[in-house]
Amino acid sequence: MALLSFLGAARQVTGSCYLIETHDKKLILLECGMQQGGNHNDNGDENGNRSPFTFNPEHLSAVVISHAHIDHSGLLPRLVAEGYRGPVYATDATSDLLEVMLMDAAHIQEKDTEWENRWRARRGKRAIAPIYVTSDAVRVLKQRRPVAYGECVQIVPGVELRFHDAGHIIGSAIVELTFKEPNNSTRKLVFSGDLGSTCSPLMRTPTVLKKADVVLMESTYGDRDHRCNEDTLDELADILQQAYKDGGNVMIPAFSVGRTQDILFHLGRFYQEGRLPQQVVFLDSPMAIRANQIYFNHHEQFDEEHLTMLRKRNISTLEDWLPIVRQTPSPDESMAINRIKSGAIIIAGSGMCNGGRIVHHFKHNLWRSDCHLVFTGFQARGTTGRAIVDGAESVKVLREQIVVRAKVHTLGGFSAHAGQSRLVQWASEFDTHPEIYLVHGEMEKMEILQGILEKKLGRPVQIPEHGDRIAI
């Protein structure tokens, strides 16, 4: 019988990582995510991302990744640097996105470590090495094995993998693993990955599955539903109108993959309808710019309704849809935005404001009462974004304390994660009464979802702790 250990995203949102040991001792790693949020300790360890793996990477036979977001894939370069030489299975679009995400993450590791070591040198502390470097990310890319939705692949003897559309971001997958036991019986593990919501205009509805013995299900928004569609869009349109009247800029921190594409779609719609008062929209994220092209390359995976609409209007580029967008890949182009004091919408990463170009725009706009800051995504505990959402009067930006005077808005309706009702519905579709384990959520939200599921399904639902081990 196969065994599964919960090594990440257990009673927390980020750092997804699950180790599977088959009956004949083959090891499969499901997800290899980076933890996000929190502070560095004296060893330069942010959130435990430098902590030793609890397994030997050289002994792994396969790695499976549900989607490209860093909290699910961000430690792959470190895994390879420490000896993993096997295949990394992901969908075709995820495989493409991994190049963008991991190369960017490696660059950030190198630059952040450079800054950290300057600070440490001034204080007489020893230098640290990056968690990984660009050459490690390049090695990961050589180990990618793309798998199409619905295709069945044997990843180790007796274990078959199948991906299903999770509707979260392009290429995101529900992972189905089927284990053949020594007595020729089978056991099926289904991992939800990150399930999409109805709020994402370009993504399809998550695939409904009927058979499983064990289900790992995300619970990011297990405590509530999202206010989607027109109400949220009307609120965003009102914010943009007010910001234009106030005479300042609008800052939108956004994840480069998924959220940025959704926001650009909605801003394009506002432009087409004459509801966008700003003169220019800056897409100030090299990673998002590259991700946009991958989205267009895999447009056949878009929601059918919106794909048909884009085809009818002969939309083949972002500029076709939103003519006032200005993409600023270079540092010089990014810095030039700082000269613009009004009438601009600035979309930049990182989505949780712990780094990236958005923090430079904070330095020039966050302290201004005529500016607006719009959060459209989840803000993990310990991040700058979460501090602002929770009402901090000032935050540390580029090692400087900046007062928060910009008007802050939180729009939950843009989430690419399923809300409570969709999670409950998805879990209720299984005909085989599987064991359900909640992962990828904050504890209080998981407990709320646990109670609702137990009442709906009439059986226990588990919330595993880090390090717990179960039989599949």
Q: Is the separation of the CB atoms in 268 and 389 below 8 Å?
A: no
32 contacts 378 by C-beta, under 8 angstroms: no
Cβ(36)–Cβ(383) below 8 Å: yes
Task: Report the sign of the C-alpha dihedral through residues 448, 449, 452, 453, in that order.
Answer: negative
Would the pLDDT of 39 be above 80? no
Between 294 and 42, where is the model more confident?
294
Three-class secondary structure assignment of the chain: CCEEEEEECCCCCCCCEEEEECCCCCEEEECCCCCCCCCECCCCCECCCCCCCCCCHHHEEEEECCCCCHHHHCCHHHHHHCCCCCCEEECHHHHHHHHHHHHHHHHHHHHHHHHHHHHHHHCCCCCCCCCCCHHHHHHHHHCEEECCECCEEEEECCEEEEEEECCCCCCCEEEEEEEECCCCCEEEEEECCCCCCCCCCCCCCCCCCCCCCEEEEECCCCCCCCCCCHHHHHHHHHHHHHHHHHCCCEEEECCCCCHHHHHHHHHHHHHHHCCCCCCEEEECCHHHHHHHHHHHHCHHHCCHHHHHHHHHCCCCCHHHHCCCEEECCCHHHHHHHHHCCCCEEEEECCCCCCCCCHHHHHHHHCCCCCCEEEECCCCCCCCHHHHHHCCCCEEEECCEEEECCCEEEECHHHCCCCCHHHHHHHHHCCCCCCEEEEECCCHHHHHHHHHHHHHHHCCCCECCCCCCEEEC
Q: Above 90 in pLDDT, residue 231?
A: no
Nearest to 321 by CA among 265, 280, 278, 274: 265
Q: What is the mean pLDDT of residues 101-117?
A: 92
What is the per-residue pLDDT across 53-71, written as a single tens digit (0 to 9) for each?
999 999 999 999 999 999 9
- Can you name the residues that pair with 188 across neighbouring β-strands? 178
pLDDT at 44 over 60: no
Residue 286 token pair? 């090299």
| Look-up of token digits 């993409």 | 327
- 295: nearest Cα among 329, 247, 263, 326: 263
pTM of the full predicted structure? 0.90
Rounded CA separation 369/347 (Å): 19
Say if residue 155 is exposed, middle or buried (CB neighbours under 10 Å; 0-12, 13-18, 19+).
buried
The residue whose two tokens read 């396969």 is: 62
- Percentage of residues in the chain having pLDDT higher than 70: 97
Chosen CATH of 3-224+416-471 out of 1.20.120.80, 3.60.15.10, 1.10.540.10, 3.40.640.10: 3.60.15.10
Mean pLDDT of 242-253: 98
> What pLDDT, on a 0 to 100 scale, did the predictor assign at position 112?
87
CA separation for the pair 277, 455 (Å, rounded): 48
pLDDT attached to residue 340: 97
Q: What is the pLDDT of residue 386?
A: 95
**CA–CA dist 442, 380 (Å, integer):** 9
Domain 230-414 has CATH 3.20.20.110: no
Which of these ranges, 8-22, 80-94, 170-184, 308-322, has the smallest mean pLDDT? Answer: 308-322
Average pLDDT over residues 209-235: 91
Give the confidence band of 228 by pLDDT, cuts at 50, 70, 90: low
Percentage of the chain beyond pLDDT 90 is 87
Measured CA angle at 389 (ends 346, 216), to 5 deg? 100
Place of tokens 């709906």: 456
Q: Which of the two residues, 378 and 366, has the higher pLDDT score?
A: 366
The whole-chain average pLDDT of the chain stands at 95
Burial class (CB in 10 A: 0-12, 13-18, 19+), 418: buried
Do residues 176 and 209 make contact, with C-beta atoms less than 8 angstroms apart? yes
Least confident of 40-49, 130-139, 452-461: 40-49
Categorize the per-residue pLDDT at 198 as very low, low, confident or very high, splitting at 50, 70 and 90: confident
Report the pLDDT value the prediction gives residue 379, as an integer from 0 to 100.
87
Angle between helices 92-122 and 286-297 (to 10 degrees): 170
Q: How far apart are the first and last CA of the chain?
A: 7
**pLDDT score for 412:** 76
Looking at the chain, the domain(s) classified CATH 3.60.15.10 span 3-224+416-471
Residue 418: predicted pLDDT: 94
Min mean pLDDT across 30-44, 305-319, 328-342, 458-472 is at 30-44
Give the pLDDT confidence score for residue 29 in this predicted structure.
99
pLDDT score of 38:
57
Pairing of strands 400-403, 394-397: antiparallel
Burial class (CB in 10 A: 0-12, 13-18, 19+), 86: buried
Residues of the chain with CATH 3.40.50.10890: 230-414
